Structure 1
Amino acid sequence: MLSTSTIQIVQSTVPVLAANGAAITKVFYQRLFLAHPELKHVFNQSNQRSDRQSQALATAVYAAAAHIDRLETLKPVLLPVLHKHRSLQIKPEMYPLVGQELLGAMQDVLGEAATPEILQAWGEAYGEIADLFIALEAELYAQDEQAKGFSGYQPVEISDIQEQADGIRSLTFKTDGPLPDYRAGQYITIRIQDQDGLWHNRQYSLTTASNTTTYTIGVKREGIVSDYLHAARIGDTVLISAPAGSFTLDASDEPVVLIAGGIGITPMLAMAEEALAAGRDVTLHHAVQDERNRPFTEQLALLEQRGARIVRYAEHQATDQAGRLPKDVIASITDLTYVCGPEAMIQFVIEHFTASPDKLHYEIFGPALAFAAETSITQ
């Protein structure tokens, strides 16, 4: 348990972190990969190049400093990060390495302002934060072991490939035995190795309700792993980790509204299928740039046949609703609502959603912590 003086010192650094957080975390990653190049196999190097990972970590550090005396209040916002860590196989022994380089980066950037007292206080605080992450992640790993012993990365075979749209395909995986169950909205992590020997890990939402026989994902071609998957063939083998993610359909019988932008449709397909199977009313809004390149048209049609109301938006060549999802439609929603797509679209829905905030749930692709923290923690 942290002392009162340690808590006061850490909280007093919030303004400094707000001003220097991004610089500190950028230096942190440089130090981390120089000292421990093996961790390049864990962290998304594309996000490193775009500074997205640094931004997410800076927000996490800021949030932790502001809430160091009540870390338990961060659990709801941290849950997606914990699931991501579990899917990437982050282990307890990695946390001391991260803590050492984070404190070193603070000293590098802040110089004399990073006094011995501040560094000591932050060292103690980081230990408390790390212990919280490790304990919560241990619970998730235990669930994997209970789920048919699926741990670490396991090989699966590509059993089917469907071209869904230009630059988007779906892939189905199978293995000799049963696969772990999952909840609609969760994802799997796919791990591939490039020609230089570097491992790359990416998360892809599962697009069907759980069946324990196969996993199906949708892949938009836009990076190293997606390029690999777009070149893959039926019969190829890839490595995956067990399904993870906290963006899941609740277990109630309430009507549900699903809002998706572009490839953000992928988790919504599983959610819609699961909700319909439970006898729930389902409305799915899907917005794309061009109607001629809408993915998963057959699956959407099947959901419609089963009773879902599908509203299709397109900015070009629209056959249903022209343009984007209107503000008044969002404002009229009173049911439980799930949103997945570009950050700008999610922010637009948040701004115009007038029902109770606890009815709105969202998922973004990429480092989500910065967005979640900015829209939740710092309010």
Structure 2
Amino acid sequence: MNSNQKKLVKSTVPVLKTNGTDLTKHFYTRMFTHHPELKNLFNMSNQASGKQQHALAGAVLAYAEHIENPEILINVLKSIGNKHVSLNISPEQYDIVGHHLISSIKEVLRESATDELIEAWTQAYNELAQIMISIEEDLYQSALKKDGGWKGWRTFVLADIIEESSEVKSFYLKPKDQNTIADYLPGQYLSVKLFVPELGHEQARQYSLSSAYHPEYYRISVKKEHQPNAPQGVISNALHQKSIGDEIWVSAPSGVFHAGIDGTQPLVLISGGIGVTPLLSMLETNKNKLQENTTVWLHSCRNEKVHAFKDHIDRLNEDNDWLTTHIFYETASKEEHNPVKEGRIDLAELKDEVLIDHAKYYICGPEVFIKVQYNSLIKLGIAQEDILYEEFGPQLLHFN
């Protein structure tokens, strides 16, 4: 891109701030009309809720704002690339997206969409597409080079299903071909794909691996949404209806949110609800690797009934001096000596426990939960680079 084209792209920033979601809504409607097969790739629950449109609008705006130096966004692009790889996105699909995005810009901006502006955005998109394709090709090749690695979808069998709470089940996945499975970093996720008869197409969802790596199986732990017919509950409810022996499609482990398996830094793990899953993988890896890094575990959920892995964490806490736990229920029993705290996590009240030299802080949970904990850590003086977080669903939060 030349300097004039970059200026033209930046000139659309005010329009994107005001009408970005209108543009992305138009884009998705247009693309799915011409390519309904892409509904097999995109999360249609996020389409229905509007989250995907908001996430894409934010991404387009961020790219326009940083068009002169898109490398600033490299961490976000790598996160998106990991998700694309987990969905087996191909370079050809970037051509489809590009065509409908540029066409949507023309149709939404109308007379403001001059030939020069459209050419500038075409060049901008093509450069971004090449960055993403390069990132994703590196990730594909890295996965294939792993012992047991693969590209695309592989059939796995549900070897066991365990109830972890009133709304969470763990699924133990073994490869149908009985060949080796790739290892992963604690905190990473799998994509799981099912055909959904009521929708008439396939749907994929990402689920964090909820245990330390085991060479014979993967474990994911899935919360069943309370409204089975709501868009966001389609896949979780379908999984909860599965039986041992059923088959599902699975992509190779992926994701940028993870802890190192040989790290020596203390860990502060802060989870809300089903956000417990990637952090549990970190905790178990810490134990299994005999690293015994000082670890503080903070978990918040509604009550004991929905508290997944409660007994497991209690045993780990009792057996390991390096681990300290703080559990919070919105509604807790009033039993004497009950170690559970009523209310929500307040890091300011626990600063003596969580302010540890050279610690890394990992947060996972709902969007509002992440915001509260992240801002609390910043107020306590924790550096941005020492705080990592995982937001389930489209990326709407950008703190660092």
TM range (shorter): over 0.9
Q: Contact (CA 8 Å) 2:152, 2:251: kept in 1 or not?
A: yes
Q: Are 1:345 and 2:369 counterparts?
A: yes
Q: Which residue of 2 aligns with 1:291?
A: 304
Q: Which residue of 2 aligns with 1:96?
A: 95
Q: Which residue of 2 aligns with 1:14?
A: 13
CA deviations over 1:248-302 (Å, ceiling 9, x no partner): 0034201100000000000011101112332211111000111232111232123
Q: Are 1:53 and 2:66 counterparts?
A: no
Q: Are 1:328 and 2:348 counterparts?
A: yes
Distance in structure 2 (CA, Å) of the matches to 1:270 and 1:300: 12
Q: Which residue of 1 aligns with 2:265?
A: 254
Q: Which residue of 1 aligns with 2:75?
A: 76
- Which of 194, 214, 218 aligns to 2:217? It is 214
Matched-pair identity in % = 36
Structure 1 unpaired stretches of 5+: none
Q: Which residue of 1 aligns with 2:112?
A: 113
Q: Which residue of 2 aligns with 1:306?
A: 320
Distance in structure 1 (CA, Å) of the matches to 2:330 and 2:196: 37
Letter paired with 2:208: S
The change in CA–CA distance for 1:197 and 1:4 in structure 2 (over 3 A counts) is: same
Q: How many residues end up aligned between the 2 structures?
A: 372
Q: Which residue of 1 aligns with 2:241?
A: 231
CA deviations over 1:207-247 (Å, ceiling 9, x no partner): 11112211011101121111111011111111100000100
Q: Contact (CA 8 Å) 1:331, 1:352: kept in 2 or not?
A: no
Q: Are 1:163 and 2:163 counterparts?
A: yes
CA deviations over 1:68-114 (Å, ceiling 9, x no partner): 11111111122221111110111100001101111111122211111
Letter paired with 2:18: A
Q: Which residue of 2 aligns with 1:126?
A: 125
Distance in structure 2 (CA, Å) of the matches to 1:330 and 1:43: 41
Tell me the TM-score normalized by structure 2. 0.90
Distance in structure 1 (CA, Å) of the matches to 2:85 and 2:305: 38
How far off its partner does 1:330 sit?
6.1
Report SS of the residue matched to 2:91. Answer: coil
Distance in structure 1 (CA, Å) of the matches to 2:202 and 2:242: 17
Q: Which residue of 1 aligns with 2:207?
A: 204
Listed as ranges, the matches of 1:140-159 within 5 Å are 140-147=139-146, 148-159=148-159
Q: Are 1:360 and 2:378 counterparts?
A: no
CA deviations over 1:20-74 (Å, ceiling 9, x no partner): 1110001000000011111110000010011100001001100111111111111
Distance in structure 2 (CA, Å) of the matches to 1:224 and 1:271: 28
Q: Contact (CA 8 Å) 2:106, 2:113: kept in 1 or not?
A: yes
The change in CA–CA distance for 1:23 and 1:125 in structure 2 (over 3 A counts) is: same
Q: Which residue of 2 aligns with 1:30?
A: 29
Report SS of the residue matched to 2:348. Answer: helix
How far off its partner does 1:201 sit?
0.2
Tell me the TM-score normalized by structure 1. 0.95
The change in CA–CA distance for 1:330 and 1:61 in structure 2 (over 3 A counts) is: farther
CA deviations over 1:174-229 (Å, ceiling 9, x no partner): 12122100000000000000125400000101111112211011101121111111
The change in CA–CA distance for 1:59 and 1:160 in structure 2 (over 3 A counts) is: same
Report SS of the residue matched to 1:316. Answer: coil
Compare 274-283 and 178-187 and name the one that shifted more. 274-283
Q: Which residue of 1 aligns with 2:192?
A: 190
Q: Which residue of 1 aligns with 2:230?
A: none
How far off its partner does 1:10 sit?
0.7
Report SS of the residue matched to 2:302. Answer: strand
For the aligned residue pairs, the C-alpha RMSD in angstroms reads: 1.4
Q: Which has the higher contact order (CA 8 A, sep 6+)?
A: 1
Structure 2 unpaired stretches of 5+: 226-232
Letter paired with 1:245: G
Letter paired with 1:216: R
Distance in structure 1 (CA, Å) of the matches to 2:349 and 2:158: 40
